[in-house]
Structure 1
Amino acid sequence: MSKDTAVAVKQPGQHPEPRVSHARNVRGMGWGFVVKLLVMAVINALGISIIMSAFNVEAWVILGASVVLLVVADVVYFTKRAMPLKYMLPGLVFLFVFQIFTLGYTGYVAFTNYGTGHAGSEQQAVDAALIQAEHRVPDSVSYPLAVVRDGDTIGFAINDDGFVEVGTADEPLAPVNGAAVDANETPTEVPGWEIVPRGDLFTDQDLQNTVVNLRVPVSDDAEDGSIRTREGQTGAIYKSTMDWNPEAQTLTDTETGTVYEASASGNFVAEDGTMLPTGWVVTVGFDNFQRAVTDTALAGPLLKVTLWTFAFAILTVLTSFGLGLLFAMIYNDQRVKGRRFIRTLFILPYAFPAFMSALLWRGMLNKEFGVINDLFFFGADINWLGDEWLARFAILWVNLWLSYPYWFLVCTGALQALSGETMEAAKIDGAGRWRQFRSITLPLLMVSTAPLAIASFAFNFNNFTIIYMLTEGGPAFPGTSGLGATDILISAIYKISGVSGGVADYGLASALSIIVFVIVGIISAVAFRQTRKLEEI
């Protein structure tokens, strides 16, 4: 063998030369590590910003959870021992943030009085009471005023007998040198500040609201009052008629002498029982759950809503499953011509967005100009959506139209998967069509469709879209509860939460959400346990 073609033989104790990978840079770090480092840098920057924001607003739970998640992410992705967690951690984080945290926070709110009038801390309630009791000082002069801006900070510049003073919500008025005023004594130039053009106050609604609500302290002593303006040209001194005593936890109206004491319910209450409109968030225990069954204005409508929710979910599943199975059996027959085309037509409702279909049906069911009355009932004045029972029937009908194509597809697939030998053996044994369906087809179908039926029940139990888009829960029950005959629990919770307007009661809405979660969870657990018996077939 020549020297040029000789193959090197590894000698005992001799180590092979290390191979240089083209995937590594000159320093020996892989490009994968560099990409991971950049990604983790972004994640750490985002995590630190969330932690700082939580610290600024004193959201200690969010701060603690963010610190733990950030530390865990760094440990997992910068060590070699946690290889499985590198793939599982993103999913676990999303599960924690969007499921566990949401459920936990809902549970926390359910035990508070959080809602309209109780949306902040006690100090915020005190500040709101002081602001609401502000009145213009009777002998206060009107100061020529200009709105000034420094970046995002808005302030006032006033002319006090030839001396220009500037202040913001956080900084009291202080004189400035080098300012200029016009013929009306209004400041036109203020060193270090930009004069906001008056045109901006008329065109920018957000700026206008900020200026009207702005209060600039006259001095470091809150008793001296603050400068406010109504039109952005002149300002006056306003003082609050309320006096806050932090030691005694009382607010005193200096005009009437009424003393409001802080109560355990999160309100300032006087001896005669009157309360200030703004309170604060406190823990109320099981009061929200108790209100749901004891409040006479709420318990009756909620009971009707609960019964209708069960009826709606159960009837929807039964009717849509039955109609879908019927069509599936008909068009699974080889003798039917054009089966593919007809199947395509039958699943069209399933392809349309549910909210668009509900709005379409809402128009067709209109009693005055809807095509249902005009074409099928000879122009009769049938109030489909205004009558309690007709509205419920209309919802069941529309939801049947929307949901039967799903079961049509499911049952078609399940029927095609059935063993032909089993059906042939039943025919040989003399079983008729009804006996074959009752003893063979339906039991075998239930093995695969029962879990889907449970999921469909849970979905329709919380089917907010069809209710809100078709009837908005109406017609309303007599009284002031705001609930209606076609409301289900999820739409009732939506109304109680105040998201759509009105008085919000997030505590009660969260309590009802927990109840719905428990109900659906128990029914699903029991139903899934019963479906296991079908697997013995």
Structure 2
Amino acid sequence: MSTSTTAPGGTAAPGQTRDGDGLGEPLDLRRSHSRGFGLGFVVKLILMALINAFGLYGILAAWAAGSWGILAFLVLALVVADLVYFLPTRRLLPAKYLFPGLIFLLVFQIFVVIYTAATAFTNYGDGHNASKDAAITQLTTTYEQRIEGTDAYPVTVLEGEDGLALATVRDGQVLVGTADQPLTPLDGATAADGRIAEAPGYEVLDYGGVVAVAGELSDLRVPVGEQEAEGVLRTDDGRTAYAYEPTLVHDEAADAMVADDGTVYANNGEGAFVGPDGEALRPGWRVFVGLDNFGAIFDPEVLGGPFVAVTLWTFAFAILSVALTFFLGLLLAILFNDEKLRFRNLYRAIIFLPYAFPGFLSILIWAGLLNTDFGFVNEILLGGTAVPWLDNAWMAKLSVVLVNLWLGFPYMFLVTTGALQAIPGELYESAEMDGAGPVRQFRAITLPMLLVAVGPMLIASFAMNFNNFNVIYLLTGGGPQDLESTTGVGGTDILISFVYKIAFAGGNNDYGLASALSILIFIMVAVISALTFRRSKALEEIS
């Protein structure tokens, strides 16, 4: 029996069902059903159709690439999305708003952290960026030499169901071969002037088609005959091919690469084939290395010394940046918070200008102003002196802090101005009656109340400056470089710019080591933020 509430006259109360209707649905939901397919439903249907189409494309691409983790995630995400947005129940209403944000969180935050953490335990980097099978294939094709005494083969590039093929004319016959099939006669094929005009089952590629598949064509190797000694055809321009023979082959039984002179390059278990003299063949492949990358970070013989120095400077830079910008912004906010000051809105607008100007342009301008030989500061303001603002390690550190102060104090000024105006004036009146002076009022009222309001913002500012790559890279490039260091570290490098140099700017780009450093940065910022948030909770008792 229904227990719904009825209004006078036998009608159901708003939002309730009528007695005996047997449907169990709120009236507003049933009314929406009775209206049929409205404009909102049509828009939702179109959007979900597009999402499902892109999702299906991603699923097929992941299936083809063998990325089973991505495939499973896409299938689950699409199923949940369809259920959330099409099931006619009000219980899923919050999920309609939370689901997009959750997906973006998983893709752009959690997945990135997990992938970085996984990479930190591998040797991923230049020379170790593929699978073992790909490395063997690359080594085999790289160490090739043209078979001496063989003629050139005029070829035509074909494309069939199984991929690219090469065709040539020999003794009046059209021969076609693929990566898996040696050159064999093709029935029905025709040629004109030594070039293939028609090949049944294949498409004859013109110049534009050859250019479009140039990458795939450079990897194509077509056996000349059934015997390995006959070599393989290889072409660089899609018009002329030559017979090559490998000088390095893989011995599966011994898991080694064997050169034509008998030299054996054995698998060293660390993602490379190494010869008797210690020479490692490149490329290698990605393998799990455990804690080796983290050990290298703390090893004094590898990164230990530079890592400690860079870490100390990173903390100093982040703390100084937050403290100086906050107190300068607060000082100016207090000065211009006086209602008796004329034109204070104009002054506030002028102070805010550096923040309104694009930051990266400001940094580049400051780099020019501080140039030792031609900068405006040395040439004009200091009368032609040669102060090494960016060429001396300590002067460069000072310059970075000052430029970051210029970029950051307007924001702090804006935030603290709003926080100051929110402090009740009665507190200051009571303090004056108790005999407290301006300094005492600042210490007992202004600063504690401000920290309650802007504490989370200061934590975020610290995290941002801890990873403030832009100001370091654009102003000093991390320099001046320490010429005695083999890591390329400079006097103003912070951890994030140090990671960049290891990953992208070094002679041997080591993504595994850079990922390990990134994980350490993440842990440092997370721990400091957690401790600071606990402290900010204690400050909330003041309010």
Tell me the TM-score normalized by structure 2.
0.87
Q: What percent identity do the matched residue pairs reach?
A: 46
Give the 3 Å change call, closer, same or farther, for CA 172–54 of structure 1 in structure 2.
farther
Partner of 1:285: 290
1:346 aligns with one of 346, 351, 363: 351
**Would you say the 8 A contact 2:190–2:196 is kept in 1?**
yes
Partner of 1:48: 56
3-state SS of the aligned residue for 2:522? helix
1:180 aligns with one of 177, 191, 210: 191
2: CA distance between counterparts of 1:484 and 1:430? 53
**Would you say the 8 A contact 1:122–1:279 is kept in 2?**
yes
Asked if 1:514 corresponds to 2:525, the answer is: no
Cα deviation digits, residues 174-205 of structure 1 (max 9, x gap) = 433442232xx4556656433534x998xx6x
Partner of 1:116: 126
3-state SS of the aligned residue for 1:437? helix
Give the 3 Å change call, closer, same or farther, for CA 220–293 of structure 1 in structure 2.
farther
Q: Which amino acid aligns with 1:281?
A: R
2: CA distance between counterparts of 1:341 and 1:152? 72
- Over the residues paired in the alignment, what is the CA RMSD in angstroms? 3.1
Moved more, 427-436 or 514-523: 427-436
Partner of 2:492: 486
2:170 aligns with one of 160, 170, 181: 160
Partner of 1:274: 279
1: CA distance between counterparts of 2:332 and 2:364? 26
Give the 3 Å change call, closer, same or farther, for CA 309–228 of structure 1 in structure 2.
same
2: CA distance between counterparts of 1:14 and 1:102? 54
1:90 aligns with one of 69, 81, 100: 100
Partner of 1:258: 263
1: CA distance between counterparts of 2:305 and 2:19? 89
1:104 aligns with one of 114, 134, 148: 114
Shift of residue 425 of structure 1? 1.6
2:334 aligns with one of 302, 324, 329: 329
**Would you say the 8 A contact 2:369–2:376 is kept in 1?**
yes
1: CA distance between counterparts of 2:189 and 2:232? 24
Give the 3 Å change call, closer, same or farther, for CA 293–88 of structure 1 in structure 2.
same
Moved more, 241-250 or 378-387: 241-250
2: CA distance between counterparts of 1:174 and 1:259? 35
Partner of 1:444: 449
3-state SS of the aligned residue for 1:158? strand
Asked if 1:57 corresponds to 2:57, the answer is: no
**Would you say the 8 A contact 1:146–1:188 is kept in 2?**
no
Partner of 1:400: 405
1:379 aligns with one of 379, 384, 403: 384
1: CA distance between counterparts of 2:228 and 2:77? 43
2:306 aligns with one of 297, 301, 316: 301
Shift of residue 234 of structure 1? 2.6
2: CA distance between counterparts of 1:449 and 1:221? 77
Q: Which amino acid aligns with 1:410?
A: V
Moved more, 104-113 or 474-483: 474-483
3-state SS of the aligned residue for 1:260? strand
Shift of residue 97 of structure 1? 1.3
3-state SS of the aligned residue for 1:535? helix
Cα deviation digits, residues 411-462 of structure 1 (max 9, x gap) = 1111111111111121122222212212221122111122211111011001
Q: Which amino acid aligns with 2:492?
A: T
2: CA distance between counterparts of 1:362 and 1:260? 50
2: CA distance between counterparts of 1:221 and 1:266? 32
Shift of residue 105 of structure 1? 0.9
1: CA distance between counterparts of 2:195 and 2:274? 44
**Would you say the 8 A contact 1:150–1:194 is kept in 2?**
no
Give the 3 Å change call, closer, same or farther, for CA 123–200 of structure 1 in structure 2.
closer
3-state SS of the aligned residue for 1:475? coil
Shift of residue 32 of structure 1? 5.1
**Would you say the 8 A contact 2:488–2:506 is kept in 1?**
no
Q: Which amino acid aligns with 1:367?
A: T
Report how many aligned residue pairs link the two structures: 518
Give the 3 Å change call, closer, same or farther, for CA 227–87 of structure 1 in structure 2.
same
Shift of residue 383 of structure 1? 2.4
Moved more, 212-221 or 406-415: 212-221
Partner of 1:73: 81
Q: Which amino acid aligns with 1:485?
A: G
2: CA distance between counterparts of 1:373 and 1:154? 63
1:503 aligns with one of 490, 495, 508: 508
Give the 3 Å change call, closer, same or farther, for CA 171–152 of structure 1 in structure 2.
closer
Partner of 1:458: 463
Partner of 2:5: none
Q: Which amino acid aligns with 1:483?
A: V
Shift of residue 169 of structure 1? 4.5
Moved more, 483-492 or 227-236: 227-236
2: CA distance between counterparts of 1:126 and 1:14? 75
2: CA distance between counterparts of 1:165 and 1:326? 84
Shift of residue 238 of structure 1? 0.8
Moved more, 235-244 or 268-277: 268-277
Give the 3 Å change call, closer, same or farther, for CA 320–119 of structure 1 in structure 2.
same
3-state SS of the aligned residue for 2:404? helix
2:246 aligns with one of 240, 265, 270: 240
Cα deviation digits, residues 14-53 of structure 1 (max 9, x gap) = 98xx99x998799x66665555444433333322322222
Shift of residue 90 of structure 1? 1.7
Give structure 2 stretches of 5+ with no counterpart.
Answer: 1-8, 12-17, 22-26
Q: Which amino acid aligns with 1:416?
A: Q
3-state SS of the aligned residue for 1:460? helix
3-state SS of the aligned residue for 2:383? coil
Give structure 1 stretches of 5+ with no counterpart.
Answer: 1-8
**Would you say the 8 A contact 2:502–2:513 is kept in 1?**
yes
3-state SS of the aligned residue for 2:127? coil
Shift of residue 76 of structure 1? 3.1
Shift of residue 226 of structure 1? 1.8
Give the 3 Å change call, closer, same or farther, for CA 334–220 of structure 1 in structure 2.
farther
Tell me the TM-score normalized by structure 1.
0.88
Give the 3 Å change call, closer, same or farther, for CA 32–143 of structure 1 in structure 2.
same
Q: Which amino acid aligns with 1:388?
A: A
